[in-house]
Structure formats: C-alpha cells, structure tokens
Amino acid sequence: MRAAVRTNRPRRPPPAATAKLASSSRPKLEKAQVPLTLPLKSFKLRLANGPPLAPTPKAFKSYAETCATLLRLCRAAATATSHAAHASSSSSSDRLPLALSLHAHAVRSGVAADRSVASHLLTTYAAFARAAERDRAFGDCVAADAASSFTYDFMVSEHVKAGDIASARRLFDGMPERTVVSYTTMVDALMKRGRVAEAVELYEQCPSGSVAFFTATISGFVRNELHHNALGIFRKMLSCSVRPNGITFLCMIKACVGAGEFGLALSIVGLAIKSNFFESSIEVQNSLITLYLRMGDAAAARKVFDEMDVKDVVSWTALLDVYSESGDLDGARRVLDAMPERNEVSWGTLIARHEQRGNAAEAVKLYSQMLADGCRPNISCFSSVLSACASLEDLRGGARIHACSLKMGSSTNVFVSSSLIDMYCKCKKCRDAQTIFDTLPQKNTVCWNSLVSGYSYNGKMVEAMYLFKKMPARNLASWNTIISGYAQNRQFVDALKSFNAMLASGQVPGEITFSSVLLACANLCSLVTGKMAHAKTIKLGIEESIFIGTALSDMYAKSGDLQSSKRMFYLMPERNDVTWTAMIQGLAENGFAEESILLFEDMVATGMTPNEHTFLALLFACSHSGLVEQAIHYFDKMQAWGISPTEKHYTCMVDVLARAGRLIEAEALLMKTPSKSEANSWAALLSACNTYKNEEIGERAAKRLHELEKDNTAGYVLLSNMYASCGRWKDAARIRVLMKGTTLKKDGGCSWVQVRGQYHAFFSWEAKHPLSMEIDEILDLLMWESSL
C-alpha cells in the first residue's frame, strides 16, 4: 500500500499546484490548443503573400487585433508548456520563431505600436522566458507611447518574480500613474522581504484600495508577526466598504490566532459563513482547524476535520498537529500513516514536535523515514533535524544533513546556516561553524547570535566578545547571548559590565536578560547591583513575572538578605516548583534548616510537586544542620515520590551520615550508588574519617578518590590531614611530597567584598591584596576591641 503511494508521489505535482492547474491553467490550455493551428496557418499564408497594407483605420484596427490574437495564442502555448509537463513540447517550441516573425511583421506594418499588440508582445516574450527581448519590447512600447497601465503592472510583477525589487521599485516610481495592482504587488514584495516600513509607506500613499490590496497588506503584517496591525487594516477595509473575500478571511483567521484574539476570530468565522466563503473554501476550513487547536480546543478542531466534505494534505497535516500539540506523538504518527498522501510539511511537523519535546533521537529517525518516503526536506525540516543533531551532539548525522542541504542548495539559507552553526558548536567544532559563518553570502542577526552563543557554549568568551563587538546590528537576543554567556562561564563581573553596556546602547532588557543579571548579582553577593536590577524590573513592569520573581528571591537569598528574599517570595502572584525550590535552598544555605523543611511541607500542602532539585535543597539543609534522621526520612520519601536520587543526592546523604560519625552506613550507601563516579562523595567520607580518626575506612576512601580523580587536590589534602590527625606524620608528609611531585597546587578558598563598585579579593594561599598590611592591622584592632 505504502509502496504504491511512494512510487506515485514524485510524478504527482503538489496538491496546491493540482488545484491551481484545474481551476485556471487547464481550461486555458484546451482553449489554446483547439484553434491554434487554423489561424496561424492562414496567417503564415498571408505572410508569404507579403504584408497587407492598412489603407483605412478600420482595416488597420482589425489587422492589429488579428496580430494580438495570434500573439495571445503563441503565449498560451508557452505558458501551457511551462505549467504542465504533459503538454506536447514540440507544439510550443516552434511558437517562439513564429512569435518572432509576428513581431517583425507587426513592426513592418506599423501595428507594433498598437496598445494591444504591444502588450501581447511583452507577455509573449515573458512567457518564453526571454527577459532581454521582453525588456526591449517594453522599451519600444514606452517609446511608442503604447504602454498601458497593464504594461507597467506586468513589468513590475515580472521584476518582483525575478527577485529584483530594486528594478521593480524604479519602474513603479516612474509610472505615469500608479495603479492599485502595482501598489499591491510592491506592498506584497516588500512585506515578504521583511521591509515592513517601506511597505507601510506605500500602503499609506495608495489613494484607493481593492480587496487584494487590503488582503496583501493584512497578509504582509501577519507574515511579519505584526498581528494587531493586520487587525487594524481589516477595520480600515470594512470602513472603506470593501467586502472581504475567502482569502481575506483566511489571513484574518491567521492574524487573530497570532494576536491571541480568539473571540474576534470566531466572529470572523461567523462572517465568513454568512458570506458563503466558508463552505466553498477548503483553505478557510483548514485554517479553522488550526484556530481551534491554538484555542486549546482539540475536540472542536477534530470536529471541523471530521465534518469537512473534501480533505486535502493540509487538512490532514493540521489534524496531525492536533495530536502532537496535545502531547500524543504516537497518535500523530498514526495520523501520518493513515494520511492518503503526505508531504514534507506533514513529516516536518512531526519532526519539529519531537525535537521540541526533547525526543531528538526520534526526530532524526523520522527524518530518514521521510527521505525513504520520497519527500524532499525543506528549510524548516533541515532546521529542526539539525537542532536535534545539535542536542544529541551527533556530529556524523549533522554533517550528513549538512551535505544534503548543500546538495539541495539550502545550506546558505539563514535559518539552515544558523542551525548548522549551532550544531557544529554543540559538537565542539567551532572552527567548522566559523567557516560556515564566513562563507555565508548574507547573514542576519540570528547567524551572528548563533556563533556568539556557540563560542560562549565552548567557554571561548574572548572570541565571543570579539564577534559581538563586530556585529553590524544587535537585538535583544544578541545581548542576552553575551550576558548569559558570561554568566554561564562564571565571569559575573563581565556579565554585569555587558548589562551596563546594553543599557547604555538603549536596548531594553527582557526577562531572560534579568535572569542572567540576577544570577551574576547573586554569585557576586552584590546586593547593591541586585537592588538596582530589581528597580529596573519594576520600571519595566515585569517584576510580577514568575521567572523574574524567582531570580530576585534567589538573588536576595544568595546575597544574605533573607528578609527581602522572603518578601519577594510571598508577594509573588504565582509560584512554580522552581520558585519554591529556590526559596527552600535559600533558607538552607543561610542556615535556617528547620524553616527550610517547614517551607517544603507548605509546598507539598499547596499541591505543588517537588522535583529532584527540591529534594537536593532539602537534603542540603539537613546535612548542614546535622539533621540525620530527617535526611534519611526525606531520602526515602523522595524515592516514594518516584524521583530516583542522583549522585548529588548520594553525596548529601554520605555527607550527613559521615558528619554524624555514622561512617559504616555512609560507606555502605556509597557502595550502593549506581554511578560510582562521584568523587565528592568519597571526599566527604574521607573528610569525616579525618574528623573521627577512622583510618581503615579513610584509607579505602582515599584509594577510591585517587582512582576516580588523579588530579583531585582536595583528596590529597584530606588524606594528609587525616594521617596528621592520627599522628601518622610520616604518611602525612609522604602525601604532601606526592602533591608537590604531581605539580598540583592546593585549591584555596577565596572571598571578596565590593567597596564602591570595586571588588577586593582575598585568597587563602597568598596575601595578594596591596593593602593587606593595613587590613591586618585594622583586624587586629577590631579583635582587640571585641575582646575587651
């Protein structure tokens, strides 16, 4: 069954083309083929007898009309061949020489300057894809003052079709009188290229309006995600008493969906039904499926689909998305298999949904199935599957798709190349990403952002900043990329510097910006900067956002201002699991273990589901306050909730047991740890063995620690300390010598304060601060005073 479909597909044109062919081109083709031979033959005969003169104006007119009709027949033959492959190619190829001789003949007999003949000549050459002759015919037409509005309209649209907007615009500007049709063509072309401002200017200049003109403007705004502007145009259109048609309704449903104006959408659907544009248009019905889907009413969407008389690939694909959106990807797959025919959009939808939900492997698998089904991937498809490869760090798969996009000529598309840059960077191939970037003929801000983000992902902040500075244009995402890049690489001071540069540049920060900025403030314990950021969120009116609220509460807690942290937490209009976890963690880190545990119980009481991070914060609280029994209780409870402990949970548990001196239990738990790679757990145990002077377990722990991490300095220090504490000085010294031999340097502690915007750092292993002498003196003084 599937095999039959597969073999048929490449031969069959896409459904949209079929519909178009059926409605417009095919009747034309038949009309052209029947009378084609007869008049042309008689005309050839007349040509052979020499050009007839046109003695009376009436004869001249009829001769010109004949000429025009014949040229129309020639053109019809040309368009018929280019539209349908099954039309006999021989019949059209001999039409071009005929058209050429007709042209010559028309010139000789002086009818070439006839408006009708001139425009037919033009359209004939265009249909034969003879751009040079077309332009010459147009020039002659203008010179002979035979250029009608249609001629200009036609040429403007020819330039637009060729992608030459500059020429189209020049011609449009030079038109003796601009028509609504040309306004429509220009507005549409500019909108499709994202040049909204220029399009709007033309829209406002246009003195009148037609359905197509208003609809093109609406569609342009929708395309550029300016949905509310689209709604405004619709109102304007109605106030000009221009009646919307099926296409207008289609665009308006899209506009309402984009703007989230569902009520309005439904009344527009009502209007479409009343004016009979609903039943007659499969497209309007298809867009209604998506409308209900976006409204969250899957049942209604399904009902629309079921009640449709005629369904096409688009209807089926929309249904497929109804299943994907509700999370039923298996159901979506069943729809795909049940579809009478599939196209690249159907596959692409399923691939994209899998990719978005984190099923990257499935997305890649579906991609190969799509190829096997005979569908050619398009831009969005490449983009989704490359993102999937990026998250899988699948360099081989990604490179294969890169090769495929190269073959199909899509690799230089900005969407595809941004995904390629991202994919290579995630696979740690920054050089390849850079090469792709360098060879791009035109790049947009997204391409730049991808590479900047790629370098910061690989910890190369110098390169990232170099690129960032070179960017021709920066948007909010660019600033977010560089700021979060610094924050992720723990260069918090640089993150704040970039934030200040952002504000100075006039770019308004967004929620994502603040989450990085507040993270930086929290880690620098820079309460003053954090408060300033807080003030900015209030000014921007985003302090009520759940992300901002959580980040603020976290920042205050990490900076030690628990009062403010709690106030933020309790004032938040809504909280999620992350919010609760941050507060529980904040209390725990500041030593309020009991309060932390109470808050956890509150969280559960409100019906919120704790996640693995919540339990980690809770166990952390217990371990820092020596609440052994509680820790054991919550560790068991966590598993009852269906959350399996990670290495970090085990580390916390080992720590709390070991600190309480329950070394045997701690070691037993550690042996049960599924992944035995967590060196910190063994270090915690070793440290406790040091405190409780247990050499036997201590030596085993040290051995494991050494196996796991040869370069783990902490292990050496702990072991050495343990020997020292037991009085085994020789062993202690041996470890110290070993450390020196491995050129290991003991990691030291570091603390800092911020004074008038300047950071002062103090290291445990060396006195580096230039004022350390003075500081020590003051410290002595303070200690002496407090001892009085």
Cα–Cα distance for residue pair 784/256, rounded to 1 Å: 73
Between the CA of residue 599 and those of 568, 586, 756, what are the distances in Å?
A: 15, 11, 36
DSSP 760: E
Which range of residues in 208-216, 327-335, 479-487, 632-640 is near DNA by CB under 7 A?
208-216
- State the binding string over 415-444 for DNA (x if CB under 7 A, else -): x-----------------------------
Tokens representing 161 are: 């079709």
By CB under 7 A, tell whether 410 contacts DNA: no
Polymer length in residues for the chain: 788
Instruction: Please choose, from the candidates 502, 458, 442, the residue with its C-alpha nearest in 3D space to the C-alpha of residue 477.
Output: 502
By CB under 7 A, tell whether 120 contacts DNA: yes
By CB under 7 A, tell whether 348 contacts DNA: yes
By CB under 7 A, tell whether 529 contacts DNA: no
Report the residue number, 249 or 716, with the smaller CB distance to DNA. 249
Instruction: Please choose, from the candidates 129, 45, 29, 44, the residue with its C-alpha nearest in 3D space to the C-alpha of residue 86.
Output: 29
By CB under 7 A, tell whether 449 contacts DNA: no
- Confirm if 290 and 318 have CB atoms less than 8 A apart: yes
Q: Out of 103, 134, 353, 575, point to the residue binding DNA (CB under 7 A).
A: 353
- Confirm if 284 and 253 have CB atoms less than 8 A apart: yes
Report the residue number, 343 or 687, with the smaller CB distance to DNA. 343
Q: Out of 25, 81, 92, 185, point to the residue binding DNA (CB under 7 A).
A: 185
Q: For 9, how many CA atoms within 13 A lie in the half-sphere containing its CB?
A: 19
Report the residue number, 92 or 630, with the smaller CB distance to DNA. 92
Instruction: Please choose, from the candidates 409, 378, 384, the residue with its C-alpha nearest in 3D space to the C-alpha of residue 398.
Output: 384
Shortest reach from residue 35's CB to DNA, in Å: 13
- 276-295: contacts with DNA (CB under 7 A): 281-283, 286-287, 290
By CB under 7 A, tell whether 312 contacts DNA: yes
Shortest reach from residue 97's CB to DNA, in Å: 20
By CB under 7 A, tell whether 346 contacts DNA: yes
Between the CA of residue 762 and those of 373, 491, 748, what are the distances in Å?
A: 65, 17, 10
- State the binding string over 216-255 for DNA (x if CB under 7 A, else -): x--x-------------------------xxxx-xx--x-
Could you tell me which residues come within 8 angstroms of residue 544 by beta carbon, excluding any fewer than 6 positions away?
572, 573
Report the residue number, 206 or 551, with the smaller CB distance to DNA. 206
By CB under 7 A, tell whether 718 contacts DNA: no
- 473-492: contacts with DNA (CB under 7 A): none
Cα–Cα distance for residue pair 144/113, rounded to 1 Å: 6
Between the CA of residue 68 and those of 62, 116, 219, what are the distances in Å?
A: 10, 6, 36
Tokens representing 629 are: 């029994």
Query: Quick check: helix, strand or coil at residue 752?
Result: strand
Tokens representing 84 are: 């349908």
Report the residue number, 277 or 682, with the smaller CB distance to DNA. 277
Shortest reach from residue 113's CB to DNA, in Å: 13
By CB under 7 A, tell whether 275 contacts DNA: no
Q: Give the H/E segment covering residue 753.
A: strand 750-755
Q: Quick one: CA dihedral 394, 396, 398, 401, positive or negative?
A: negative
By CB under 7 A, tell whether 349 contacts DNA: yes
Which range of residues in 38-46, 339-347, 564-572, 739-747 is near DNA by CB under 7 A?
339-347
Report the residue number, 286 or 481, with the smaller CB distance to DNA. 286
Q: Out of 81, 123, 559, 581, point to the residue binding DNA (CB under 7 A).
A: 123
Which range of residues in 102-110, 311-319, 686-694, 774-782 is near DNA by CB under 7 A?
311-319
Report the residue number, 370 or 616, with the smaller CB distance to DNA. 370
Amino acid, single-letter form, for residue 521: C
Q: Quick one: CA dihedral 384, 388, 393, 398, positive or negative?
A: negative
Q: Out of 379, 399, 578, 744, point to the residue binding DNA (CB under 7 A).
A: 379
By CB under 7 A, tell whether 148 contacts DNA: yes
Shortest reach from residue 566's CB to DNA, in Å: 40
Q: Out of 33, 109, 356, 488, point to the residue binding DNA (CB under 7 A).
A: 356
Q: Out of 26, 72, 130, 236, point to the residue binding DNA (CB under 7 A).
A: 72
Instruction: Please choose, from the candidates 124, 80, 132, 78, the residue with its C-alpha nearest in 3D space to the C-alpha of residue 100.
Output: 124
Instruction: Please choose, from the candidates 629, 621, 628, 626, the residue with its C-alpha nearest in 3D space to the C-alpha of residue 591.
Output: 621
- 665-704: contacts with DNA (CB under 7 A): none
By CB under 7 A, tell whether 554 contacts DNA: no
Between the CA of residue 723 and those of 662, 683, 691, 703, 735, what are the distances in Å?
A: 20, 15, 11, 14, 9
DSSP 357: T
Q: Out of 153, 362, 554, 561, point to the residue binding DNA (CB under 7 A).
A: 153
Cα–Cα distance for residue pair 392/398, rounded to 1 Å: 10
Say which residue the tokens 């995402």 belong to: 477
- 80-119: contacts with DNA (CB under 7 A): 115-116, 119
Tokens representing 162 are: 């060729």
What number of chain residues touch DNA (CB under 7 A)? Answer: 62
By CB under 7 A, tell whether 450 contacts DNA: no
Q: Out of 25, 81, 343, 585, point to the residue binding DNA (CB under 7 A).
A: 343
Amino acid, single-letter form, for residue 543: E
Which range of residues in 80-88, 181-189, 712-720, 725-733 is near DNA by CB under 7 A?
181-189
Which range of residues in 376-384, 523-531, 602-610, 751-759 is near DNA by CB under 7 A?
376-384
By CB under 7 A, tell whether 531 contacts DNA: no
Cα–Cα distance for residue pair 283/91, rounded to 1 Å: 36
| Torsion of Cα atoms, 513 then 519 then 523 then 527, to 10° | 80
Report the residue number, 292 or 486, with the smaller CB distance to DNA. 292
DSSP collapsed to 3 states, 176-208: CCCCHHHHHHHHHHHHHCCCHHHHHHHHHHCCC
Q: Out of 13, 15, 510, 560, point to the residue binding DNA (CB under 7 A).
A: 15
Query: Quick check: helix, strand or coil at residue 548?
Result: helix
Report the residue number, 157 or 417, with the smaller CB distance to DNA. 157
Report the residue number, 379 or 408, with the smaller CB distance to DNA. 379
Between the CA of residue 571 and those of 546, 548, 598, what are the distances in Å?
A: 11, 12, 18
- Confirm if 212 and 184 have CB atoms less than 8 A apart: yes
By CB under 7 A, tell whether 383 contacts DNA: yes
Which range of residues in 34-42, 146-154, 497-505, 768-776 is near DNA by CB under 7 A?
146-154
Report the residue number, 319 or 496, with the smaller CB distance to DNA. 319
How many helices (H) does the chain have, and how many strands (E)? 46, 2
Q: Residue 430, Cβ neighbours under 10 Å: how many?
A: 18
- Confirm if 440 and 415 have CB atoms less than 8 A apart: no
Which range of residues in 349-357, 394-402, 470-478, 610-618 is near DNA by CB under 7 A?
349-357
Q: Residue 195, Cβ neighbours under 10 Å: how many?
A: 15
By CB under 7 A, tell whether 380 contacts DNA: yes
Tokens representing 580 are: 């609760």
By CB under 7 A, tell whether 133 contacts DNA: no
Binding site residues, DNA, CB under 7 A: 15-16, 68, 72, 115-116, 119-120, 123, 148, 150, 153, 157, 179-181, 184-185, 188, 192, 210-213, 215-216, 219, 245-248, 250-251, 254, 281-283, 286-287, 290, 312-314, 317-318, 321, 343-346, 348-349, 352-353, 356, 378-381, 383-384, 415
